[in-house]
Amino acid sequence: MRKLTIVLAMTSSLLSMQAATAASSGHNNNNINFQVNDTTVSGGIQAMPNDNLQFSANGQYSSDNGTIGNVGVDFVQQNGRVEYGLGAKAIVLFAKGHDDGGVLALGGHYAYQLNDRLKAGGDVYYSPDILSFHHIDRYLSYGVKASYNAVDNVNVVVGWRRTTFGYSAGPDLRYQNNFYIGSDYSF
């Protein structure tokens, strides 16, 4: 419970900073998301204080593998129907059956607007040993997703994600390797 409280405190403090930044800039490109499958629930927020900068805060709980919290920043570019971003995430893991740890992962995301309602995209983030801490010696997460704009500001999302934490002493933790369904709400 203490670990979940820490993740929630990290998320709420970042959300406060993001809300203040977005409010002062007049931009309205914020997003709240939620995903679920049979063993995992996750949620987060993304805020864009301007057209090229995106902050994020996310939390995830797996009944099999523990809790993840992360905060990140991406530099985003849009070119017609294509959006892509490069950035970094600070990720903390409170694992079940493995040592806790953290990483600073580098990576990016992409998305392609297929039509007015349908979008497809993906992301990849990696952390080598030099950016991994407390028994973790590497991190890799990648995924793909498709979203359908069901009603104004609400998307239904279907995706797949694989996330692995590597350990210097012991077996790796495959935190996630599954499909999910979820929703995004833009405001």
Q: What is the mean pLDDT of residues 142-160?
A: 95
- pLDDT digits 0-9 by tens, 83-140: 999 999 999 999 998 889 999 999 999 999 999 999 999 999 999 999 999 889 999 9
Q: What is the mean pLDDT of residues 3-24?
A: 51
What pLDDT is attached to residue 1? Answer: 47
When pLDDT is cut at 50, 70 and 90, the band that residue 187 belongs to is confident
What pLDDT is attached to residue 51? Answer: 86
pTM, rounded to two decimals = 0.84
What pLDDT is attached to residue 136? Answer: 94
Q: What is the DSSP string of 17-84?
A: HHHHHHHHHT----EEEEEE-SSEEEEEEEEEEETTEEEEEEEEEETTTEEEEEEEEEEEEEETTEEE
- pLDDT digits 0-9 by tens, 63-90: 999 999 999 999 999 999 999 999 999 9
Element (H, E) at 30: none
Candidates 162, 166, 142; CA nearest to 40 is 162
Query: In this structure, what token pair is assigned to residue 2?
Result: 């203490």
When pLDDT is cut at 50, 70 and 90, the band that residue 16 belongs to is low
Query: In this structure, what token pair is assigned to residue 24?
Result: 């002062």
Q: What percent of the chain has pLDDT over 90?
A: 77
Q: What is the mean pLDDT of residues 2-6?
A: 51
> For the CA atoms of the chain, what is the radius of gyration?
16
Candidates 58, 79, 184; CA nearest to 125 is 58
When pLDDT is cut at 50, 70 and 90, the band that residue 13 belongs to is low
Compute the distance between CA of residue 7 and CA of residue 92 in angstroms, rounded to an integer.
8
Other CB atoms closer than 10 Å to residue 108's CB: what's the count?
16
The answer to whether residues 94 and 67 touch, using CB atoms and an 8 Å cutoff, is yes
Domains and CATH numbers, the chain: 2-186 (2.40.160)
What pLDDT is attached to residue 152? Answer: 87
| Residue 23 scores a pLDDT above 60 | no
What pLDDT is attached to residue 111? Answer: 96
